[in-house]
Amino acid sequence: MLLYPIAFIIALVSLALWFFNQRNNLNTAFFSGLFYLAFGAWAVSFFLADASMDTKIPVAVRDMLMMAGIPIMMQNFSKNKGVFFGLLFLLVGVYYGFGWDIWAESFSENKEATIETQNDITTDKDTTFELLVEIKNDKQRSDLQAIKNKHKLSLETAFAMKSGSTTDLDDYVAINIPNQNLSSQQAIILDLQNSGLVDWVEENETIKIDDPLTDLRRLPAVNRKFGVNDPGLSKQWALQELNADKLYTYFRENKIKPTKKARIFILDTGVDAKHEDIAKRYKSVKNEYDKDVQGHGTHCAGIAAAITDNNKGIASLSPADGFTEITSVKVLSDFGGGTQRTIINGILEAADNGADVISMSLGGRSSDSKQRAYKQAVDYANKKGAIVVVAAGNSNANSKNYAPAGAPGVICVSAIDTTLSRANFSNYVQDVKMGIAAPGTLIYSTFPKNQYKAFNGTSMATPYVAGLIGLMKSLKPELTTKEAYKILKKSGKNTQAVEETGMFIQPEAAIRMLLEE
């Protein structure tokens, strides 16, 4: 309801100007009339809002306090016209820059989001929705009204995508269960399943990152010469085991040129778009994705495609400009948490923005053996030309029981340590269809504010694979997931526990096989 936030700010500003003119013995008729008109519009929008009185009363108290307090406070500056109008412009600027969403969402308790607004879903809001429900094609959301009323549920469109006709994800709704009814969640699921109105019900499972910072003093020495000048190479043991020097030499000697610039989307906590080793290779889709408070997304971005041979920071598998670029979709909060819904919306958004590779260093234990919504999202991304790469997980368990690691259609990445053994924390991948291995311990990479740090985790292994596939897609844009995995597996080498880890990627051999087959 746009009327509400607009009416509020007009009422606030006109009241302040009314007081200002009154204090300075000027004509107040215009501003007093404007205030009464705006206040009337505010009152109408308030009473028409689709929310309970429990929600409305605190909103009314907040707004009344601000309408009373701010104009009275500003009266203290009414004799100094410059200061007064400076504060007034600052107030309006802060409101539209930071407060607009707060006021616009004041009555969001029962608001059903439309497709056009779903890309603005935030992780914190999304965690209030416990269920994801696929409504039958011949049914409508309104058909769920009886169940909605019985359990006091609220519903909104679950997923946003540009090509809704190509997927059943446009039939999904997200369901919020009020706190007092959370104990009835299983009964609600049964009611939905037995209603004949839905095809599928699953929990909106939580997703997180849990990769620990490591001690830089433990980083193994790197003695190989790579032929590039990035100072951080001395701390990148992974590139030594990946034979990155052979990759760089192969590109240089064969004068290999890209067919296109492949876009690698990092779905994570955001990416520091201004980082010295990322900025020139970064492509933004939304400003809010271009910062990273937590640091995890920036670390993954550097592994995938940091600028090589720029005399700064680290190197990546991308040997020169023009082959790959990094793009971010923020799907996790600044604390590293999110939900299945935010991840799936991130996949859809990346696919709709031209992703060639989608890299997801995140996950959580899943109670859903079919992972139906994830599969549909991956299928959607594949149809748009993207390959989806995900972390196996860090629980020393079977990755098939984790999401999105166990989702059909993804390439699932386990972590290898410096001895080429499965890292002791890494989930194993023998029960997923496309499991592969990459370095995942003591991984030195970019960190916000031009810093560099080392982490352990399958989160770190994943962008090595995503970066390599991005390089492959830059040379052969039509490459599919199955084709890419077949090459990675065939060109890879054994680990100490290859049944558990999958083959260990070998970039130069993979590129050679891609171009020479």
Residues that are catalytic: 268, 296, 459
| Residues 151-188 as b or e (16 or more Cβ within 10 Å = b) | bebbbbbbbbbeeeeebbbbbbbbbbbeeeeeeeeeeb
Phi, psi at 503, each rounded to 5° = -70, 150
CB atoms within 10 A of CB 288: 12
Tell me the DSSP string of 293-347.
SSSHHHHHHHHHHPPSSSSSS---S--STTSEEEEEEE-S-TTSEEEHHHHHHHH
How far apart (Å, rounded) are the C-alpha atoms in residues 483 and 517?
12
CA neighbours closer than 13 Å in the CB half-sphere of residue 304: 37
Q: Which of 194, 232, 237 is nearest to 219 (CA)?
A: 237
How far apart (Å, rounded) are the C-alpha atoms in residues 101 and 4?
12
Q: Which amino acid is at 383?
A: K
What the block records as the tokens of 434 is 């496309």
How far apart (Å, rounded) are the C-alpha atoms in residues 353 and 356?
10
How far apart (Å, rounded) are the C-alpha atoms in residues 19 and 384?
58
How far apart (Å, rounded) are the C-alpha atoms in residues 493 and 333?
37
